[in-house]
Amino acid sequence: MSVIPETTEVVRTPGDGPAEPATDAGQEAPAGGPGRRRRRRRLVAVLVGTLALAALGFVLVAALLTSTTTDALDPDSAGPTGSRALARVLADHGVSVDIARGVDALADAGVDADTTVVVTATRFLDPLLMPDIDDAISSAARVVVTTDDPVALDLFGLDWPVVGYPASADPVAVDCGTTDVRAGERLGVMDRGFLVSASPTVLPCFVSDGVAAYVVTERSGEPTLAVFADPPAWTNERILDGDTGALALRAMGHTSRVVWYVPTLDDLQGSGARVIRAALPRWFTPSLWLAAAALAGLALVRGRRLGRLVREPLPVVVRAIETTRARGALYRRSRDTRRAGAILRSATLARLRRRLGLPSHAPADVVAERLAAVTGRSQDAVAAVLTGPLPADEAALGALARDLTALEDLLSSPPRTEGPS
């Protein structure tokens, strides 16, 4: 019975290298080299970056295209950030609630002395349209605004700084001079408030360390203005926190009719920057900064750095004499004996300057004078070799090379005693 010898399969790789035996059966092939791993990491990074940019663009477009019916404090929205619950309760108590979307609808709403105008989405207010808004609400009995935006306060002629509500404060009301608030009522957690002082025409309520959460101000010849500093508190999600709902109903229930003004993107005609700021959700800017910080951290962690030096064997070892001979052959083929002579003389001068202790920029005549003094040779003869005319043919080039070598050999012998030190 014959035995067939086991053969080894040979796998040839691209290139001229020797063939290597394949791995045995049952053994996994080694993973790709460093180059393949780097390419794979780059591909993953590109894909992740592309997906992140696509997600960011989707969020931006979605925010810009979002209608005001899904905006916070919209009286038609039943979502957590809407205010349909408050509008429905007002209607159940006999208060007619009309929604005016846009400044044109507000102008056509017929606001009169038995009307309370409610303004909630203040981030859509346009300074260029404030004269039209003031004309439309000038006949109202009361204007109720919920905002923590200093720009919106300025549009209504209020110079109250918006500051953080004291973290340890308990928003409990005392008698502040208005029927909207009753002593002992409490609010939920407050984030911001108005830094305002009480006066006969300004009635701050829920005050802690001079920071008020609700302020009623009487203005001569204008509607009474009531401002609440925590817009999210009047949403469907938080309207039942503490006595927040009771405060909202009293603030809006002074008249038999409420015109709820909802500014829209169409109202932002002349404020391009404000259009973008109003359309973007509040979490967009912090998220953008967080993404930028994450990208910077990724660049620092994954960025290419210079590692330690690695010695690699040269594919071909070329001896120095071969390079010299090749360069000489090039000069000989070009028959440029003058340039070859200049190179030989320059190299000899450089070596003589070092051996004679002269500066590297010392002129050739100075080198000749010093060499003649050290060796006792004639200065004219040394200068003729170091500064004379360049060779015009190969014979002269050979003679110059021999003379230059002889000058360097002179320094190998002991210096003459009568020469300068």
> What is the per-residue pLDDT across 343-390, written as a single tens digit (0 to 9) for each?
889 999 999 999 888 998 888 888 888 888 888 888 888 888 888 889
The residue-averaged pLDDT of 57-73 equals 56
pLDDT tops 80 at residue 1: no
Q: What is the CATH number of domain 68-289?
A: 3.40.50
- Residues near 239 by beta carbon (within 8 Å), at least 6 away in sequence: 83, 85, 86, 233, 245, 248
Q: What is the pTM of this model?
A: 0.51
- Residues near 230 by beta carbon (within 8 Å), at least 6 away in sequence: 146, 148, 187, 188, 190, 191, 192, 213
What is the pLDDT at residue 120?
A: 87
**CA 285 to each of CA 47, 148, 191, 268: distance values in angstroms, whole numbers, following the listed order:** 24, 17, 19, 20
> What is the per-residue pLDDT across 117-171, written as a single tens digit (0 to 9) for each?
999 888 778 788 888 899 999 999 999 999 988 988 998 989 999 998 887 677 8
> Between these two residues, 419 and 120, which has the higher pLDDT value?
120
pLDDT tops 90 at residue 30: no
What is the pLDDT at residue 261?
A: 93
Q: Are 258 and 119 in contact (CB under 8 A)?
A: no
pLDDT tops 80 at residue 60: no
DSSP string, 338-368: HHHHHHHHHHHHHHHHHHHT--TT--HHHHH
The residue-averaged pLDDT of 102-122 equals 91
pLDDT tops 50 at residue 319: yes
Q: How far is CA 369 from the centre of its chain?
A: 67
In single-letter form, the type of residue at position 247 comes to L
What is the pLDDT at residue 69?
A: 41
Q: How many CB atoms lie under 10 A from the CB of residue 214?
A: 26
CATH 3.40.50 maps onto the chain at: 68-289
> Between these two residues, 72 and 144, which has the higher pLDDT value?
144
